[in-house]
Amino acid sequence: MRNGLPRHVAIIMDGNGRWAKRRQLPRIAGHRAGVENVRTVVRRCAELGIEVLTLFAFSSENWRRPPTEVRLLMDLFVMALDQEAAKLHENGIRLQVIGDRTAFPKRLQRTIASAEALTRDNRALTLVIAANYGGRWDIAQAARKLAEDVRAGTLEPADITPEALSPHLCLSGLPEPDLFIRSGGEERISNYLLWQLAYTELYFTDCLWPDFDAAQFEVALESYACRQRRFGMTGDQVEGREAPAAVPGV
């Protein structure tokens, strides 16, 4: 049995710095090449009819980088959004940014808000950019909202379940990621979508992000197509040779 196309692909775009270093270029040249490659992958997702693409652009830990690199990354983000927002809109792409944007320069916050507003009603592809995002932050901010409901007397602590928490998490309302891709050779999650990746198929490649082209993407999709997603069941149940059992308490 083969899986069809993933509805939602979540990517950690890693390896820009090493790509630049190999060419004896400054790290920012790698980030620029990385942005170019975002265009390629977004285009491919739209062509294929993938519903959601979530890209990790800046983690809550990336503030630890040298201040000049952080500043250049922010400038690049503003520039890319300014340049691309109209084109995304023309192509029917909806842009959403997840993460704690309050830490960003005001100019970047404004650029994000206007790109989101412009593309809000588009339906071709939802492009989610995770910026100043951390999976632990995401879970903590959702928990805080439930705590506020408890304090207001509208929620009992006993009613705090995964189902109660998940509407408050980033990406709620979108299908869960089916396929996770990390370029750049590291095999770790780096505080990306910790909750949302619970049953996502993971794919790691040594290819550095600026080199991760449509052909590399196809290899990842092919790997996904061959996986058996069991969600806790047996292979026979998934293949329909045996019925799935009821989950106690559900």
**Sheet-wide strand order for 125-133:** 93-98, 125-133, 52-59, 8-12, 179-182, 201-204
Residues in the chain: 250
18 forms part of the interface with ligand IPE (CB under 6 A): yes
State yes or no: is 178 an active-site residue: no
Instruction: Rule CB under 6 A: choose which of 56, 77, 104, 212 binds ligand IPE.
Output: 56
Residue 106 has phi, psi (to 5 degrees) of -55, -40
201 forms part of the interface with Mg ion (CB under 5 A): no
In a 13 Å sphere around the CA of 72, the CA atoms on its Cβ side amount to 14
Identity (one letter) of the amino acid at 93? I
Shortest Å distance, C-beta 35 to ligand IPE: 10
205 forms part of the interface with ligand IPE (CB under 6 A): no
Tell me, by CB under 6 A, how many residues bind ligand IPE.
Answer: 17
β-strands 201-204, 8-12 pairing: unpaired
In a 13 Å sphere around the CA of 164, the CA atoms on its Cβ side amount to 15
CB 42: neighbour CB atoms within 10 A?
20
Q: Which two tokens stand for residue 148?
A: 């506020």
**Identity of the residue, 119 or 132, whose beta carbon is nearer to ligand IPE in the bound complex:** 132
The catalytically annotated residue of 16, 37, 62, 82 is 62
14 forms part of the interface with Mg ion (CB under 5 A): yes
Shortest Å distance, C-beta 213 to ligand IPE: 16
Cα 125 to Cα 45: distance, rounded to the nearest angstrom: 8
Within positions 132 to 191, which residues make up the interface with ligand IPE, using CB under 6 A?
Answer: 184, 186, 188, 190
* Closest residue to Mg ion, based on beta-carbon distance: 14
Tracing tokens 């991760």 back to the chain, one arrives at 212
58 forms part of the interface with ligand IPE (CB under 6 A): yes
**Identity of the residue, 88 or 207, whose beta carbon is nearer to Mg ion in the bound complex:** 207
Q: Considering just the CA atoms, what is the radius of gyration of the chain in Å?
A: 19
Residues 70-89, mask of contacts with ligand IPE (x by CB under 6 A): ---x----------------
Provide CB contacts within 8 A for 22, sequence distance 6+.
none
Rounded to whole angstroms, the maximal C-alpha distance in the chain is 60
State yes or no: is 82 an active-site residue: no
Instruction: Rule CB under 6 A: choose which of 8, 9, 17, 176 binds ligand IPE.
Output: 17
In a 13 Å sphere around the CA of 193, the CA atoms on its Cβ side amount to 33
**Identity of the residue, 21 or 168, whose beta carbon is nearer to ligand IPE in the bound complex:** 21
Residue 13 binding: pick among Mg ion, ligand IPE, none (C-beta 5-8 Å cut-off by kind):
ligand IPE
Region from 7-15, 61-69, 198-206, 209-217 binding Mg ion, contact rule CB under 5 A? 7-15
Q: Hey, which residues are catalytic here? A: 14, 62
List of residues contacting Mg ion (CB under 5 A): 14
List of residues contacting ligand IPE (CB under 6 A): 12-18, 56-59, 62, 73, 184, 186, 188, 190
